[in-house]
Amino acid sequence: MNPSLIAILVVVLAGGATALQAPTNARLASAVASPVNAAFISFAIGTTVLGIVAALMQTRPDMAAARALPWYAWLGGVYGACFVVAAAWGVPRLGVAMTITLMVGGQLLLSLVLDHFGALGVPRQPLNLGRIAGVGLVLAGVLLVRRS
């Protein structure tokens, strides 16, 4: 099987998992009285699972390479926590489709900026009409989802 096709499939499945994560954590937030509590529990379980998978795969971090990273490379968990809390909070108020659509819209807008400037070490991909139109169509989808 084509490696690019495998990567696309894995990313699409992970996106589907995000759609499952939002209502799951919203339900948990209702039971534990806050989206922050739900995110904490979600991250604790996720950390446990990742620890088990890392142990089974016998992966070992390169500590010298880790120490050489720029400061912002350590912030991924912060962004993830914001995402999980916002999803758990947003789903009961907006629904799953609207919450995820808005999140994807926000991801796409910032992605265009990051790509254009080559920020955070990503390869530079300047803005062009096709990229802007593609994001514009997704954002138009936000409006369509909202009006339904």
Percentage, residues of the chain above pLDDT 70: 99
This prediction has a pTM of: 0.81
Can you tell me which residue has the tokens 């880790």? 66
**Per-residue model confidence as pLDDT tens digits over 17-44:** 888 999 999 999 999 999 999 999 999 9
Q: What are the backbone dihedrals phi and psi of residue 126, each rounded to the nearest 5 degrees, phi first?
A: -60, 150
